[in-house]
Amino acid sequence: MTAQILDGKATAAAIKSDLTTRVEALKARGLTPGLGTLLVGEDVGSQKYVAGKHRDSQQIGVNSLQRELPATATQEEIEAVVRELNEDPSCTGYIVQLPLPRGIDTNRVLELMDPDKDADGLHPTNLGRLVLNQPGPLPCTPEGILVLLRRYGVEVNGAHVVVVGRGVTAGRPLPLLLTRKSENATVTQCHTGTRDLPALLRQADIVVAAAGVPHLVKPEDVRPGAAVLDVGVSRDENGKIVGDVHPGVRDVAGWISPNPGGVGPMTRAQLLVNVVEAAERSLG
Ligand SMILES: Nc1nc2c(c(=O)[nH]1)N[C@@H](CN(C=O)c1ccc(C(=O)N[C@@H](CCC(=O)O)C(=O)O)cc1)CN2
């Protein structure tokens, strides 16, 4: 079997095309959305992701506000930029690129953000809204994964989804989305401390690998015909992305997200959805 490709690049392009029309409508009502980003440090991967987010936003007519601080920035310097973005009316939504350098209290930074401008859906208020089933911005990677599965007709209702990883941007919030009544999946949350991970993976209709461990999910761990999504963004010595899913899984799975070109572009597209929706909400 050769898996059908869950093409995140093409799906993201379709989402961006729809958003362009909504941005034009916002502009006609006097509001140009502006996406702010705060990048702290010089991590090459983070720099690429932030550059991609601004490239995308410019493509759909959203203004860019880029803030950068060196890796040596203090908690107070980072929080000062967050306060500035909270106050700036031209910034209608923003993100703090994660991870922040070691020694910085990430939760304190996220908590300081204006929840109405939180384009990542990672502010405690917005994560709380998700738990309570109330409307609000959804975390971009989990929602991007769901949109991709829907677009390719992968059945989520009643499916057993095994999520590997417990990071705040993907693994931790994804089960919250999948177990809503509207999605109706059953989720097993695994992580690097899970005993006999292969035995659990083999039970899955859908595998989401978000542990940051290169080639963690091997062909023999996957049930033939399962859908496999790769969130891993480790890099080899040449800076090339190495995902959490072994390339041989393509020959066993029914669907697979390429990496690059799968979940990454969907994360960026969902960020723009959150920015446009926040701007629409602000106009009432
Ligand atoms: N504030 C946030 N920080 C981080 C998030 C997040 O959702 N919000 N998620 C991850 C990384 N991430 C988002 O910033 C991200 C990862 C990958 C891509 C992407 O477009 N990848 C491309 C390849 C790009 C390359 O060549 O390196 C692809 O997959 O095709 C975008 C965003 C951690 N931090």
**In this predicted model, what pLDDT tens digit does every residue of 150-176 receive, in sequence order?**
999 999 999 999 999 999 999 999 999
| 108, containing H or E segment | helix 106-112
Cβ < 6 A, ligand 1 pocket: 48-49, 52, 95-98, 120, 140-141, 169, 233, 241, 259-261, 264-265, 267-268
d(CA 49, CA 34): 17
| Distance between Cα 261 and ligand 1 center (Å) | 11
Mean pLDDT of 48-77: 98
Q: Band of the pLDDT at 196, cuts 50, 70, 90?
A: very high
d(CA 89, CA 70): 25
Q: Is 150 flagged in the annotation as binding? A: no
Q: Which amino acid is at 268?
A: R
Nearest CA to ligand 1 atom 1: 97
Q: Band of the pLDDT at 1, cuts 50, 70, 90?
A: confident
Q: Is 55 flagged in the annotation as binding? A: no
User: In percent, how much of the chain has pLDDT > 70?
Assistant: 100
The answer on pLDDT for 177 being more than 90 is: yes
In angstroms, how far apart are the furthest CA atoms of the chain?
A: 56
Task: Say if the ipTM goes beyond 0.90.
Answer: yes
Within 10 angstroms of residue 24's Cβ, the number of other Cβ atoms is: 11
Cβ proximity of 202 and 222 under 8 Å: yes
**In this predicted model, what pLDDT tens digit does every residue of 3-51 receive, in sequence order?**
999 999 999 999 999 999 999 999 999 999 999 999 999 999 999 999 9
